[in-house]
Amino acid sequence: MGALSIRNVRKTFGPVEILKGIDIEIEAGEFLILVGPSGCGKSTLLNMIAGLDVPSQGSIHIGERDVTHLPSKDRDIAMVFQSYALYPNMNVAQNIAFALEMRKVPKPQREQAVQRVAKMLQIGHLLDRKPGALSGGQRQRVAMGRALARDPKLFLFDEPLSNLDAKLRVEMRAEIKLLHQRTKTTTVYVTHDQVEAMTLGDRIAVMKDGVVQQFGTPDDIYSRPATRFVAEFIGSPAMNLIPATRSGSALLAHGIELDASPAQRQALQDLAGNEMVYGLRPENLGFADAGLPGTLSMIEPTGPETYVTVDTAVGKLTVRVPGNARQQVGERVHLHWQAQHAHVFDGATDRRIA
């Protein structure tokens, strides 16, 4: 049994089923990301791990213990909320130590824990300040310090960076990753940001409509998306998706044959349906002297790289090129790619083939 086991967890509110049979297991020290769009059920699942809600069906184990119906205080967890949830009448040191005080931890041990986490999070100079005198990033560090002081079996993060500006999000994301590398505490982290998911997680559960679409490492999720939804959701810019029709082992889009690998051609022959979707990551497309013709319709420089939109006979395709590229809007180009970089999805099931 792993450090966290979620087994066939379902949650219903009246006739509405929010979670539809979730099965996840992670080992001690792993960093699990629950990612998906708003309303997919990720926060509901986190609340049940935390003991703030109870599954309608299924079980949750932390280590060897079945905690499905245990109250939060008995689960040996610590949670960091999106809203910081600091006590405004207490200073930073008191906020960090409060949970330990409620557990009757002796004062010398509380003070030692406060100093330990303050040093780890570099907030020792803030211990006498009230939350109202702190910036958003400082408040989030204090909220993390309060969780760290507990030394729990499981850390839970509920979109902790969503209230921060873009620059601070990047800084805090790096701090959370370094923190996990130091503490090696099993962590579950909820986010709707696929960049956070890819950079932080050891394993990722991509959720949609109460179902885990794919559970795997960041490389698995990005390189071998199990469904069309995962392919679209993970990656920025998003994967190019081209509606296509199967003709034997060939794929056609507006009369143009799309190159497929031998494994894909074999898999296509075994399918019953004819409607397919052909996917290409923007970085797997390039300009060449021959290939799919098109016209540049938009150029988006980002500094180190540039996103170029090309209008083609099979639709608009986004190409990721180096930041010093010198293409011009209106320019005629040809796009080239290698078949092994393409992804093919069954149009009826949205599942990836081959």
Question: Of 30-34, 246-250, 287-291, which has the strongest mean pLDDT?
Answer: 30-34
- Bond prior to 237 in cis (omega within 30° of 0): yes
Domain 237-353: state its class: mainly beta
> Please, which residues bridge with residue 346 across strands?
276
**pTM, two decimal places:** 0.90
Section 319-334 average pLDDT: 90
* E strands in 63-176: 65-66, 77-80, 154-158
Q: Where along the chain do the CATH 3.40.50.300 domains lie?
A: 4-231
The Cα–Cα gap between 79 and 171 comes to 20
Question: Of 21-35, 98-112, 340-354, which has the strongest mean pLDDT?
Answer: 21-35
pLDDT band of residue 114 (cuts 50, 70, 90) is: very high
The answer to whether the beta carbons of residues 186 and 28 sit under 8 Å apart is yes
pLDDT band of residue 1 (cuts 50, 70, 90) is: low
Q: Is the pLDDT of residue 143 over 70?
A: yes
Amino acid 172: pLDDT: 84
Which residue, 234, 187, 260, is CA-closest to 27? 187
Q: Is the pLDDT of residue 57 over 80?
A: yes
Q: Which tens digits make up the pLDDT trace of 65-83?
A: 999 999 998 999 999 888 8
Q: What is the mean pLDDT of the chain?
A: 92
Q: Which tens digits make up the pLDDT trace of 76-104?
A: 999 988 888 899 999 999 999 998 888 88
Question: Which of 19-28, 155-164, 213-222 has the least mean pLDDT?
Answer: 155-164
- List C-alpha distances in Å: 92 to 86, 138, 227, 323: 9, 10, 45, 44
Q: Where along the chain do the CATH 2.40.50.140 domains lie?
A: 237-353
The answer to whether the beta carbons of residues 146 and 156 sit under 8 Å apart is no
The pairing of beta strand 186-191 with beta strand 31-35: parallel
Positive or negative, the CA dihedral 230, 235, 241, 246 is: negative
Q: Is the pLDDT of residue 270 over 90?
A: no
Domain 4-231 listed as CATH 3.40.50.300 = yes
